[in-house]
Amino acid sequence: MNAEARLERLKEQLSLTEEQVKKITELDKKQAEKREAMPTRTREQMQQMSDEERNAMREEFQKMRDEYNEGLKKILTEEQWKKYEEMNAQATNRNRQAR
């Protein structure tokens, strides 16, 4: 799902205000810039990485997710944040069952 579709889904499901949409759009842009700054690796390169390199990369992605969630939590109301967490938990469960 691309950023616009994701934001539209959040807007609907969380009843976001226009101000919240603006702030989340900025947060998404910053997150995209961080991702783009990371080196791109092919599947073959990923397979050749050591466990330490993969773990370091995993930690970096987790750090980025944590930073994003911290920013998002500041934008959303407490009620919206709870619903967002529920939505993420449901998505995680669906993804695990699909495997």
48-96 per-position pLDDT tens digit: 888 998 899 889 999 999 999 999 999 999 999 999 999 988 888 877 7
Handedness of CA 99, 2, 60, 42 (dihedral sign): positive
CA 9, 12, 16, 22 dihedral sign is positive
Indicate the pTM of the whole model: 0.81
**Residue pair 80/14 in contact by the 8 Å Cβ criterion:** yes
